[in-house]
Amino acid sequence: MIRAALILGLAAALLGCAGFGRSPHRAERKRLDASPQHQGRKFKNPEPMYINAWGVLGGTPRGIQDKPEAPLPVVPRTRDEFDTPPKSGLRATWLGHSSVLLELHGIKVLTDPHWGPRSSPFRRLGPKRWYAPPLPLDQVPAVDAVLISHDHYDHLDHTTIRRIAAWDTRFIVPLGVGGHLQRWGVPAERITEVDWWEEVTLGPVRVACLPARHASGRRVSTRDRTLWAGYALVGPQHRVYVSGDTGLFPAMERIGAEYGPFDLTMIEVGQYNEAWPDWHLGPEQAVLAHLMVRGEALLPVHWGLFRLAPHGWTAPIERVHAKAAELGVTVATPRPGESIEMRTLGDTQRWWPKLRWQDASEQPIRATKAGDKRDRMDTEALFERFAPPQ
């Protein structure tokens, strides 16, 4: 994934295209400079991240299928299916990768919408999606907000933003990301930029911007010029955690203490590799993150649509299920386009094929403490500390 991002970013910088957005203007930098996360014209994680530059060049192991060879059981959806509010007050419809239509106490929120043909600033270059969007963009019901976690291509798709720029909705984005949206036609007055721990309101729901351990940038020269984030959505009865892209970090415990417990966590589980253990959680650490933020049910995201890392395409969900079963954690596995509610979580069933996949012993993902590959987090102790009683 990182190798692809570097290649696409370099190509974008050399060729020039609207797909890589724009950097914050001088007038916009004042707020960025005031952020505790902003140092030396860039945003930084409290815990530095390790990356093995040579490891990025590795490919998928032989015998591992890294993309589907047959059509997936996508559930086609239309707008009128969302006219009736969820009886439980909380419903999530997974649309592939990190795109979710979330309904919470009468509020509709769309996370990291990606309706484009590729995870790329180009039409004919970059990872191609595996299936058409289950819910066509012209069938998406009116949403109260579009929530963006960061500006990487698989989370901020310029072709999608151009198509929804005229929507009468609010765009909630991390610091600096608003410049991209403005270039693609979204009026500045409908963009709300937020820093970590800041909150905005959507009717009865509080939306808190939360820390994540990741990076940003749509080309090499703009890396980390914008912020990356997760979110908490806190309603009168239900709470939802959206991880965004992240590695494991200590403040997840604070997130759980201040905004949890969460009825539902939407946590990224795929696109991992030993070469970048701090950039993405990996399946087992996704379950750990779910426990650290005090989640009740886990909806795995960031898998099942693009090939962005050299692992089996079913490995993320297989490994999550294995670890969750060991700890008694509830995991929802909807098909692309399928909705889940708290009262129907047990109705989701296995829909992906049985393929060879590498488990945690073959491809371990364990975050470092401060970007030092020799100093790894003691995840065994963390699992023991946060695991629910059996």
Paired strand residues for 233: 207, 240
Give 265's contacts (C-beta < 8 A, 6+ positions apart): 240, 241, 243, 289, 290, 293, 295, 297, 298, 299
Per-residue pLDDT, 346? 64
Q: What residue spans define the domains of the chain?
A: 2-13+31-386
- Looking at residue 88, its amino acid is S
Q: What is the architecture of the domain spanning 2-13+31-386?
A: 4-Layer Sandwich (3.60)
Output the tens digit of pLDDT for each of the chain's 390 residues.
555 555 555 554 445 578 888 888 888 888 999 999 999 889 999 999 999 988 888 899 999 999 999 999 999 999 999 999 999 999 999 999 999 999 999 999 999 999 999 999 998 899 999 999 999 999 999 999 999 999 999 999 999 999 999 999 999 999 999 999 999 999 999 999 999 999 999 999 999 999 999 999 998 888 999 999 999 999 999 999 999 999 999 999 999 999 999 999 999 999 999 999 999 999 999 999 999 999 999 999 999 999 999 999 999 999 999 999 999 999 999 999 999 998 777 667 899 999 999 999 999 999 999 999 999 999 999 999 999 887
> Mind giving me the DSSP string for 82-147?
GSSPPTTSEEEEE-STT-EEEEETTEEEEES---SSBSSSSSSSSPBPSS--SS-GGGPPP-SEEE
Q: Within a 13 Å sphere around the CA of 8, how many CA atoms are in the beta-carbon half? A: 24
Backbone phi and psi for residue 10, each to the nearest 5 degrees, phi listed first: -65, -45
Tokens, residue 198: 């800041």
- Looking at residue 51, its amino acid is I
Tokens, residue 38: 């902003």
Tokens, residue 264: 């539902």
State the residue for tokens 């902003």: 38
Give, for 374, the enclosing helix (H) or strand (E). none
Give 369's contacts (C-beta < 8 A, 6+ positions apart): 47, 375, 376, 377
Report the distance separating Cα 188 and Cα 178, nearest Å: 8
Sign of torsion, CA 249 255 256 260? negative
- Looking at residue 313, its amino acid is W
| Contact between residue 259 and residue 208 where contact means Cβ atoms under 8 Å apart | yes
Per-residue pLDDT, 286? 98
Per-residue pLDDT, 14? 46
